[in-house]
A = this chain, B = another copy of it.
Amino acid sequence: MAYSISCSGSIALDTTRTPFKTVERVLGGAASFFSLSASHFTKVNICSVVGADFPEGNWEVFEKAGVNTEDVQRITDGKTFQYDCTYSYDLYHRQANKTELNVLGTFEPKLGEASSKSEVLYLATMPPSKQKDVIRQSKGRKLTFLDTIELYMNDLYKPELLEVLETVDGAVFNDAEARMLTGEANLIKCGKKIQEFGPDIVIIKKGEHGSLLFFDGHVVPFPAYPLEDIKDPNGAGDSFAGGFLGYLASIEAVAPSIMQLKIAMAYANVMGSLAVEDFSVDKLVSVGNKEIEKRFEHYCELLHIKH
């Protein structure tokens, strides 16, 4: 058996411009990347919203992956959230060209029965008040993680973000967010300070430079899986979180040990690395369990120093 996951957050139509190729209005958004990544490990329910322009074919993508989309609201007189960005030649620097919230702007997450019973809850980036609302609706949650962005660290949102942080088991930040929230430059200090805000488990992501796990006095650094060919960095962070929580759900880890968390971090790195190897969610849906396991074994082997 395995726990199921409930994930609330955005579904987007992404336009991604890289020096090599541009893709337009392809499936994106935190909830899409997260759920399609985690779906390799367990049953995932997503709670999100789309507009009338949402291409039919995308439903099949979720269905094939076994992701339950019952709680995705269809707003017939609205347009799907759209995100348009350009990557620099090294695919490292992203410039947002356009962010049209559309139906996401007025989204009120509502968890259906299956979602509310899920043992693992992932709150993708949303206004903290909505994350709080989802937590309230979740009846079965035993392990709750949140992600957020710099926007919610300004004076207007920060008090509420801190309130939500107090109630979750874990939080995922990128380096800039961790520094902004804590006012610390050193990332080890950042992680420890965030733990003081509430979550026992803190993850700081540094993109191609890897990630840091904070838990129970441990500070564990992880390098990124080395990749020579990156096509589209969009969604790497949410796919990372999907691998992390997907694995923990699959082993029903309510009170995970440090080693279980390290294994989860390895799967997180694997899923993040797979996501960027193709545009949109393409690699996440085409990859098989065999390839995931192979990359997981390789990652662990790379890190292992037998002395």
Docked pose: A305 CA to B302 CA in angstroms: 10
Which residue of B has the minimal Cβ distance to A302?
B220
Contact residue among B210, B302, B307 (Cβ-Cβ distance under 8 Å from A300): B307
Q: A303-B304, A305-B263, A305-B300 known; A188 and B223 CB under 8 Å?
A: no
SS class, residues of chain A in contact with chain B:
loop
| Residues of chain B with a CB closer than 8 A to A266's CB | 305, 307
Docked pose: A206 CA to B209 CA in angstroms: 9
B220→A221 contact, CB < 8 A: no
B226→A223 contact, CB < 8 A: no
A259 within 8 A of B: yes
B226→A210 contact, CB < 8 A: no
| Residues 265-307 (chain A) with a chain B CB within 8 angstroms | 266, 300, 302-307
Q: Shortest distance in angstroms between A250's beta carbon and chain B's nearest beta carbon?
A: 13
| Residues of chain B with a CB closer than 8 A to A222's CB | 223
A180 within 8 A of B: no
Which residue of B has the minimal Cβ distance to A229?
B186
Docked pose: A209 CA to B210 CA in angstroms: 8
Number of copies: 2
Q: A223-B222, A227-B188, A300-B307 known; A210 and B210 CB under 8 Å?
A: yes
B228→A221 contact, CB < 8 A: no
Q: A89-B185, A185-B90, A212-B226 known; A305 and B303 CB under 8 Å?
A: yes
Q: Shortest distance in angstroms between A149's beta carbon and chain B's nearest beta carbon?
A: 21
Which residue of B has the minimal Cβ distance to A304?
B304
| Residues 202-235 (chain A) with a chain B CB within 8 angstroms | 206, 209-210, 212, 219-230
A262 within 8 A of B: yes
Q: Shortest distance in angstroms between A134's beta carbon and chain B's nearest beta carbon?
A: 32
Task: Report the 6 A-B pairs with minimum CB-CB distance, sorted nearest first.
Answer: A221-B223, A90-B185, A209-B209, A303-B303, A188-B228, A300-B305
A-B residue pairs in contact (CB < 8 Å), sample of 26: A90-B186, A91-B185, A186-B230, A188-B226, A188-B227, A188-B228, A192-B228, A206-B209, A209-B210, A210-B210, A210-B223, A212-B226, A220-B226, A220-B302, A222-B223, A223-B223, A259-B306, A262-B305, A263-B305, A263-B307, A266-B305, A266-B307, A300-B305, A300-B307, A303-B305, A304-B305
Residues of A participating in the B interface, judged by any CB pair closer than 8 Å: 89-92, 185-186, 188-189, 192, 206, 209-210, 212, 219-230, 259, 262-263, 266, 300, 302-307
